[in-house]
Amino acid sequence: MNHNTPLSPLPLRHLAATQRRVMSSAQLRAHGISTADTAAHCRPDGPWQQLLPGVCLLHPGPPTSEERLHGVLLYAGRPPAKEARTVPAQPGAGEPHAPYADAMITGLAALALHRFSAAPPLLSLDRIDVLVPRTRRLRSTGCAHLVRTHALPTAVQITGVPVAPVPRALADAVAQLTDAGAVRRLLTEAVRGGHCEPAAIVKELNHARLLGRPHVVDAVDSLLAEGRAIAEDRLYRMVREQGLPDPLWNVDLRLPGGPHLGGVDAYWPDQAVAVELDTRAPRQDEDALWSEYARKREHLERLGITVVHITPKKLRDSLEQQAAVVRTALMASDDRDPAAYVVVLPR
């Protein structure tokens, strides 16, 4: 064969059975295509092109968003321990190995796959972040930007693509952003859209050491306020829809002529039952706040006040179960010793 010999767009018909237009060199070899044949088809005038090192696009035009995603995963995924087979694969037999082991899409590309309206469209991204173990010996190249981690999270499968869960994807996206508005929009959408709770986001941001950046701190403050407002709305809905008696909302408790005991989100004075939403999030400077929270709860319980602790996640995922917990505490008040008298003030 010389350089003027035309190349078939698809030299082996059984490749069509894979329904893939992007494949790794290992996959092509498993289908009986030699390295030399692959290189010949990826010449500038050939029917294929090299998308990334060791990854071929089986057509001459620009790659689609899906092809870029699969190409990045093929490049970054852990290769098999040994070649599964060297004879051509049979149509319908499937791929010889799992090519995406230890790799998943993260960052802005992952948020786009999670359908974040605040994330740029996939085609507009110059690079695609892919999360890999720290021990992977690869470099970022082309559209593939490697993000290394000590421990991979459990991936979410979206249209056959392994994607980092929202909190991790947010942290990897925020690490690359300097626009305070963009950061705030992404974090707000994560909570407002029901993707995850603020605590999970702040935990990932803290783990990534991003809470020292002023524009991230400002966005987190807005995020926590947004998350608390949503949790309060869920608490109101729980009381209304589950037929609980109306409490006193957002009140401060004090001993008569004594010290301030702290604020609670809902309080039933006749039953001495309080509900407190735990909207705290793990941050670098909040150990003292956590200790103060625990002291307040212990003090109230010593006075005979039952404190029902509810997280926003529990309200979102098991509202009826949380209502049952509150109802049980209210019904059990008759079997307890009378609580100390406290003064209830609006908060």
What pLDDT score was predicted for residue 85? 42
- For residue 263, give the amino acid letter: G
C-alpha dihedral (316, 253, 263, 276), degrees to nearest 10: -20
Residue/partner pairs of 11-18 with CB below 8 Å, 24 or more apart: 11/37, 11/41, 12/88, 14/88, 14/89, 14/90, 14/91, 15/58, 17/91, 17/92, 18/95
pLDDT exceeds 60 at position 3:
no
How much is the average pLDDT of 291-308? Answer: 85
pLDDT exceeds 90 at position 332:
yes
In percent, how much of the chain has pLDDT > 70?
Answer: 85
Enumerate the CATH 3.40.960 domain ranges in the chain, comma separated.
243-346
How much is the average pLDDT of 307-333? Answer: 93
Q: How far apart are CA 208 and CA 225, in angstroms?
A: 22
Task: Note the CATH number of domain 243-346.
Answer: 3.40.960
What pLDDT score was predicted for residue 270? 93
The pLDDT confidence band at residue 7, using thresholds 50, 70 and 90, is very low
What pLDDT score was predicted for residue 99? 60
How much is the average pLDDT of 243-251? Answer: 96
pLDDT exceeds 60 at position 70:
yes
Q: Beta-carbon neighbour count of residue 173 at 10 Å?
A: 25
Q: What is the mean pLDDT of the chain?
A: 85
